[in-house]
Amino acid sequence: MRILMVGNGGREHALLWKLRRDAPHATFFATKPNGGMAPLCEAVEIDPGDVEALSGWAAAHRIDLTVVGPEGPLAAGIVDRFEAKGLAVFGPSRAAARIESSKAFAKELLRGAHVPTADHKTFSNQAGAVEWVRECGAPIVVKASGLAAGKGAVVCTTEEEAVAAIDSMLGDLDFGEAGREIVIEEFMEGEELSVFAVCDGRDFVLLEPAQDHKRVGEGDTGPNTGGMGAYSPVSIASAAVLAEASRTVITPTLAALAAEGAPFKGLLYAGLMNTAEGLKVVEFNCRFGDPETQVILPLMQSSLLDLMITVAEGRSLAGRTATTRPGAAVTTVVASGGYPGAYDKGHTIHVPDGLEGEDLLVFHAGTRVQNDGTLVTTGGRVCAVTAIGPTFASAADASRAAAARIDFEGAFYRSDIGWRERGRTERRES
């Protein structure tokens, strides 16, 4: 079997790692692979966003399955183009990917389907947005409607912060086209949960949920990033909570997309807030999360590839399930100094020999191997260190300790990934 991975970040490295375990005799290809992916596949020197070139290459090289990692190519219609050429591909159509590429579309879809989410309004002019903020007060959340690499949501504790966020998005266009339309919504109190569903357009299989940490600083402070770490399983994600997520969020959302003529086939990621009134949708993504993928896939015992092939071939997932190994996993992101703002590139990375093992994995994101074999930084999030242990505490301690041993100029990481879970664990044990 010949499998093409589109994308070259930490999420794609984790997907490649898992699919190689599911199909050890398959041949793998990846678009411009990062330093960690390169030894695991054959490189395809085509940009992940070049839909036309990739579809032609896949057809010419007899690719049996293409897995699309990032949201950009999905929003650009890569699945539509591949399917038009008769190629099997895992991911949603361009129309279905609007669940992520347009927060305004997603909010209206949820409203029509009676899926619980924050009260909101959509704006494309500053004056109306500012007026509504003054009317609602703070705290309040301002979001770029389009794709903003996980950084387009600003939680504002004062009206002045909200006005500044509006000016940044609609006035200064700091988020480019993604911020020409914004969504302003009520601030929701509660704890977030990331729920993942492999979908065939109607039926779905839930994977193990996770909780990520978007803020750059300890204790969830500072600006939003693409994600500084994650852990799984999450003790608040009880069987009852997951049943509620399936019943009130995933099922009606899939039905609403199908009614729009855009059945969702791929991985639907629901970012949920566990509020006093029940689960409410924070956002949807049309693909695997990053860094959540790096923490849930090492725990997955059953085959992810089998689920992907079933969806890509248009077959039903009814009656299918996914199994998870015992224990817990924690991933800690090691980032470049200055991230999520400006940061330097090209720093030499040192990963100690013998650091990695069956229960300690380093998934690369912003890395590249130079011609002389030196591994250097190329991005803000450089790598994610995932540890697996019998308990949350053991996994968290191992992940943090390993992250501290990865060295490059300006490297930093959060030492408190899973701090809420650690607190719950300590309370149970006291």
Alpha carbons 68 and 203: distance in angstroms, whole number: 20
Q: What is the pLDDT of residue 240?
A: 96
Distance CA 411, CA 3 (A): 34
CA distances from 359 to 362, 399, 407 (A): 10, 10, 20
Q: Which helix (H) or strand (E) holds 143?
A: strand 140-144
CA distances from 326 to 26, 216, 428 (A): 27, 30, 19
b/e map 50-79, b = 16+ CB within 10 Å: bbeebbebbeeeebebbbbbbbbbbbbbbb
Cβ atoms of 284 and 318 within 8 Å: the answer is: no
Instruction: For residue 365, give the DSSP letter.
Output: S
CA–centroid distance for 222 within its chain: 20
Full pLDDT tens readout for the chain, 430 residues: 999 999 999 999 999 999 999 999 999 999 999 999 999 999 999 999 999 999 999 999 999 999 999 999 999 999 999 999 999 999 999 999 999 998 889 989 998 999 999 888 888 888 888 888 898 888 888 888 877 766 678 888 898 888 998 888 888 887 888 778 888 888 888 999 999 999 999 999 999 999 999 999 999 999 889 999 999 999 999 999 999 999 999 999 999 999 999 999 999 999 999 999 999 999 999 999 999 999 999 999 999 999 999 999 999 999 999 999 999 999 999 999 999 999 999 999 999 999 999 999 999 999 999 999 999 999 999 999 999 999 999 999 999 999 999 999 999 999 999 999 998 988 877 6
Which two three-digit tokens encode residue 39? 């030894």
| Tokens 């003529």, located at residue | 261
Buried b / exposed e across 263-301, counting CB within 10 Å, b at 16+?
Answer: bbbbbbbbbbbbeeeebbbbbbbbbbbbbbbbbbbbbbe
Report all structural domains of the chain as residue ranges with CATH numbers, in order of start.
Answer: 2-91 (3.40.50.20), 125-180 (3.30.1490.20), 191-312 (3.30.470.20), 328-429 (3.90.600.10)
Alpha carbon distance 292, 209 (integer Å): 9
Which of 285, 286, 284, 282 minimizes the C-alpha distance to 120?
282
The H-or-E segment that residue 51 falls in is helix 51-60
Query: Using N-to-C axis directions, what is the helix angle for 126-136 and 159-166, rounded to 10°?
Result: 160
Give dist(CA 302, CA 324) in Å, integer. 7
* Contact assessment for residue 36 and residue 363, using Cβ atoms and an 8 Å cutoff: yes
Closest CA to 400 of 415, 384, 419: 415
DSSP calls for 249-282: IIHHHHHHHHHTT---EEEEEEEEEEETTEEEEE
Closest CA to 283 of 117, 146, 415: 117
Residue 81 burial (CB count, 10 A): 19
Q: Which DSSP string corresponds to 167-203? A: IIIIIS-TTGGGGSSEEEEEPPPSEEEEEEEEEESS-
- Note whether 2 and 27 are within 8 A (CB): yes
Cα first-last separation, the chain: 52
Phi, psi of 158, deg, nearest 5: -130, 160
Q: What is the pLDDT of residue 150?
A: 62
